[in-house]
Amino acid sequence: MPSPQDRARVRNGWLLSAPALVLLAMAAAGPLLVVLVYSFLEAGQYGGVEWAFSTDAWFGILFSKDIFTDETMLADAHLAIFWRSVKLSLLTTLITFAVGFPTAWFIATRAPRARAMWLFLITIPFWTNLLIRTFAINEVIRNEGILNSLLLWAGVISAPIQIIYTDTAVLIGMAYVYLPLMVLPLFAAIDRFDMKLLEAAYDLYASRLQVLRRVILPIVKPGIVAGSILVFVPSLGAYVTPRVLGGGKNMMIGNFIELQFGQGRNWPLGAALSMLLLVIVMVALLAYVRAANKGAGHGH
């Protein structure tokens, strides 16, 4: 049984943290509760909501009704947007890892002074607004951009390659924007890596691939998990990059939610989509954390 002193200490701790907990509840849980309530209301005629309970918004996420026959069918457009969002987010995570891992390894194996310079260069993109970085990529990949101009000048192509306003353009933009979020956690994990383990592995006649799979990746796995979370979560809810590089046809969940609160004037559907996005992110986070804990358990 806890002593009276222990109970008093716990009580005082809760009292001291009460202002922060109340502020957190009002700033985070409060708005989420409003969005959740809106998702169960009817849509207003000119935007907003009408205070009548309805599950039409949640029904409308996956299904739609024919305006003539009232027949229920799958909302193919909605499902296509969901699939595009998850697919591009996963591909962005994989591409940033494929590029970020060797980059982080290169930086971590430099001399301390050179390492500081490379880290400084990696953080420079954070000094610039996301919209400006997205427009910079737009200037590179558009039909009259730098990439097509160089290829035309070199005679590699005879006509500009249509990259802009495609899923490829969105993928390139998100990989460029979120690459530093993958490099920095990987660098932190690799920087703590004991290079003597490599010597021991090579002394035991392990090949380079075996060293990578059995020594390096298991040890730096926390950095991989952290970087994947930092890239996947904002990619899934991205708005600016798909809007600028994808145009109106290649929208993702974030653009679709904004459409419902704007031109669509269907606030309950936008609120339901927002809650669905939150659920998807939470499931992804739980999966990543479970994978990290499982790897840590095997390590022990």
- Average pLDDT score over residue span 81-87: 92
Q: How many CA atoms lie within 13 A of 129 on its CB side?
A: 4
User: Are residues 92 and 240 located together in one domain of the fold?
Assistant: yes
> Does the residue 87 lie in any domain?
yes
Which residue did the predictor score with more confidence, 277 or 46? 277
pLDDT of residue 1: 62
**pLDDT at residue 266 greater than cutoff 70:** yes
User: Are residues 23 and 131 located together in one domain of the fold?
Assistant: no
DSSP 34-102: HHHHHTTEEEPBTBSEEEEE--HHHHHHHEEE-TTT--EEE-HHHHHHHHHHHHHHHHHHHHHHHHHHH
Least confident of 117-121, 173-177, 243-247, 282-286: 282-286
> Does the residue 57 lie in any domain?
no
Average pLDDT, rounded, for the chain: 87
Q: Hey, what are 219's tokens?
A: 């040890």
Which residue did the predictor score with more confidence, 46 or 83? 83
**pLDDT at residue 86 greater than cutoff 80:** yes
The domain in which residue 112 lies consists of 75-299
Q: How many CA atoms lie within 13 A of 212 on its CB side?
A: 6
User: Are residues 23 and 87 located together in one domain of the fold?
Assistant: no
- For the beta carbon of residue 254, count every other beta carbon within 10 angstroms: 22
User: Are residues 195 and 286 located together in one domain of the fold?
Assistant: yes
What is the tally of structural domains in the chain? 2
Give the domain CATH number at 102. Answer: 1.10.3720.10
- What sign has the CA pseudo-torsion 295, 298, 299, 300? positive
Rounded distance, CA 270 to CA 274, Å?
6
pLDDT of residue 300: 47
User: Are residues 124 and 225 located together in one domain of the fold?
Assistant: yes
User: Are residues 90 and 234 located together in one domain of the fold?
Assistant: yes
User: Are residues 118 and 233 located together in one domain of the fold?
Assistant: yes
> Does the residue 176 lie in any domain?
yes
User: Are residues 151 and 291 located together in one domain of the fold?
Assistant: yes
Which residue did the predictor score with more confidence, 137 or 125? 137
> Does the residue 81 lie in any domain?
yes
pLDDT of residue 100: 94
- Average pLDDT score over residue span 60-71: 81
> Does the residue 290 lie in any domain?
yes
User: Are residues 230 and 294 located together in one domain of the fold?
Assistant: yes
- Average pLDDT score over residue span 45-58: 89
User: Are residues 2 and 115 located together in one domain of the fold?
Assistant: no
- Average pLDDT score over residue span 22-35: 84
> Does the residue 55 lie in any domain?
no
**pLDDT at residue 297 greater than cutoff 60:** no
- Grade residue 227 by pLDDT with cuts at 50, 70 and 90: very high
pLDDT of residue 295: 56
> Does the residue 70 lie in any domain?
no
User: Are residues 127 and 200 located together in one domain of the fold?
Assistant: yes
pLDDT of residue 296: 55
> Does the residue 151 lie in any domain?
yes
User: Are residues 235 and 134 located together in one domain of the fold?
Assistant: yes
Q: Which helix (H) or strand (E) covers residue 22, if one does?
A: helix 4-24
Q: What 3-state class would DSSP assign to 159? A: coil
Rounded distance, CA 190 to CA 192, Å?
5
